[in-house]
A = this chain, B = another copy of it.
Amino acid sequence: MVRVAIIGASGYTGVESIEIILRHPQAKITYLTALPDECGPVTKTFGQLAGRLDMMIEPLDLDVLASKADVALCCLPHKVSMGFVPKLLATSVKVIDFSADYRIKDVSVYEKYYQPHTDTKNLKNAAYGLPELFREQIKGADIVANPGCYPTGAALALAPALKEDLIKPSGIIVSSVTGVSGGGKNPSPLFHFPYMNENIYPYGVGVHRHMPEMEQVASTVAGKPVELLFQPHVGPFDRGIVSSTYSDPVGDVTPEQLMTLYTDFYKNEPFVQVVSKPPAVKNVAKSNYCHVFPTIAKGKVVVFSVIDNLIKGASGQAIQNMNILFDLPETMGLE
């Protein structure tokens, strides 16, 4: 039985992780932490857990962590996370980190989009936790950088075509729409119901922090530098991301060839389904699945993917990584 601590349990990825682990036959929640003013009975923070989890959220105590947990899901925001992760690792728990702090290998890129990096030592050792593309690196890692939600969807859409050199590595457009839970649990004018409802809008034009993360993953898969433009939008729904990617083929390629390539590429992946028509976000909501549909339109390679941003884009993928780290069946607790 894997003993799981959740560091920063008071947000959406915290409760989502709790819900998955409650259904996991070989893992259990043993420790929940948060900032002092968010501590107390977990059911007070998350009414949906009433009768399901009788536990307190407590301030983090590293000794307690060391004695109670085998793995820490670190659900802290970037910058905060890299202040804690070295201490968590020092207790010899494994760490699966949800922030951006351990995802971007090029420190100068990280520092351009975020802030100075203060834990480059662990950054070097961190595995990028997208199992479908980097499973081998995850096994045996002490720290896994759980991918961003947008990069997960974009990478799964683009990887087969990039790996097989079917598309040009520049001029790629990734145009995505996320549900509002992607913006987190803190109320703000942009996510206030009467503003967000019946609304949809682009944001972060040219500057979204998931763009360099996408380029890193894409470049690694392609084996050469990939340059892309990522444009996020937020729409009036709770969960899910649809990513529509547009790229230029290298040479001739038919929709059938593309479909065959994608189907083969993912044929052993339990959580990626290559579907035969444009995918719908609702079909993957509340699940760890990604649906991908590749085709050709007007001479462009067009690939769509859909995921649940909180599950395959966060907590579900973290449990998938945990299963890999602890030699459990990868799908355990996630089907």
Chain A positions within 8 Å of B, measured between CB atoms, are: 12, 22-23, 25, 47-48, 50-52, 171, 173, 175, 177, 179-181, 183, 185-189, 191-203, 205-207, 211, 227-229, 231, 233, 235-240, 242, 244, 246, 248, 270-271, 273, 275, 278-287, 289, 291, 295-300, 302, 304, 306, 335
Please indicate the chain B residues that have their CB under 8 angstroms from the CB of A201 in the complex.
242, 278-282, 306
Q: Please measure, in the bound complex, the distance between the C-alpha atom of A284 and the C-alpha atom of B177, giving whole angstroms.
A: 19
Closest residue of B by beta carbon distance from A188: B187
Closest residue of B by beta carbon distance from A12: B194
Q: Please measure, in the bound complex, the distance between the C-alpha atom of A235 and the C-alpha atom of B175, giving whole angstroms.
A: 14
Indicate which residue in B192, B203, B271, B284 contacts A192 across the interface (CB closer than 8 Å).
B192
Q: Please measure, in the bound complex, the distance between the C-alpha atom of A34 and the C-alpha atom of B275, giving whole angstroms.
A: 24
Please indicate the chain B residues that have their CB under 8 angstroms from the CB of A180 in the complex.
193-194, 197
Given contacts A23-B335, A193-B197, contact A205 B52 (CB under 8 A): no
Q: Can you offer 19 A-B residue contacts whose CB atoms are under 8 A?
A: A47-B275, A47-B291, A50-B291, A171-B248, A181-B194, A185-B192, A192-B192, A198-B282, A199-B281, A200-B237, A200-B281, A201-B280, A201-B281, A229-B297, A229-B298, A231-B246, A233-B242, A235-B235, A236-B237
Q: Is the CB of A198 within 8 A of B283?
A: no
Question: A17 CB to closest chain B CB, in angstroms?
Answer: 16
Please indicate the chain B residues that have their CB under 8 angstroms from the CB of A207 in the complex.
297
Most B CB contacts (10 A, CB to CB) among A270, A282, A304 go to A282
Q: Is the CB of A185 within 8 A of B194?
A: yes
Q: Is the CB of B194 within 8 A of A177?
A: no
Indicate which residue in B171, B198, B280, B299 contacts A239 across the interface (CB closer than 8 Å).
B198
Question: A122 CB to closest chain B CB, in angstroms?
Answer: 30
Indicate which residue in B48, B235, B296 contacts A236 across the interface (CB closer than 8 Å).
B235
**How many protomers of this protein does the assembly include?**
4
Given contacts A23-B23, A187-B187, contact A282 B199 (CB under 8 A): yes
Most B CB contacts (10 A, CB to CB) among A177, A197, A291 go to A197
Q: Please measure, in the bound complex, the distance between the C-alpha atom of A200 and the C-alpha atom of B52, giving whole angstroms.
A: 22
Given contacts A246-B173, A273-B51, A280-B200, contact A295 B205 (CB under 8 A): yes
Please indicate the chain B residues that have their CB under 8 angstroms from the CB of A51 in the complex.
270-271, 273, 289
> Apart from A193-B196, A200-B237, A227-B298, what are 13 other A-B pairs with CB-CB below 8 Å?
A12-B194, A47-B279, A50-B289, A173-B175, A173-B300, A177-B177, A177-B233, A192-B192, A193-B238, A197-B238, A201-B279, A206-B302, A229-B297
Most B CB contacts (10 A, CB to CB) among A48, A188, A275, A295 go to A48
Q: Is the CB of A335 within 8 A of B206?
A: no
Please indicate the chain B residues that have their CB under 8 angstroms from the CB of A281 in the complex.
198-201
Please indicate the chain B residues that have their CB under 8 angstroms from the CB of A248 in the complex.
171
Q: Please measure, in the bound complex, the distance between the C-alpha atom of A179 and the C-alpha atom of B47, giving whole angstroms.
A: 20
Q: Please measure, in the bound complex, the distance between the C-alpha atom of A321 and the C-alpha atom of B47, giving whole angstroms.
A: 26
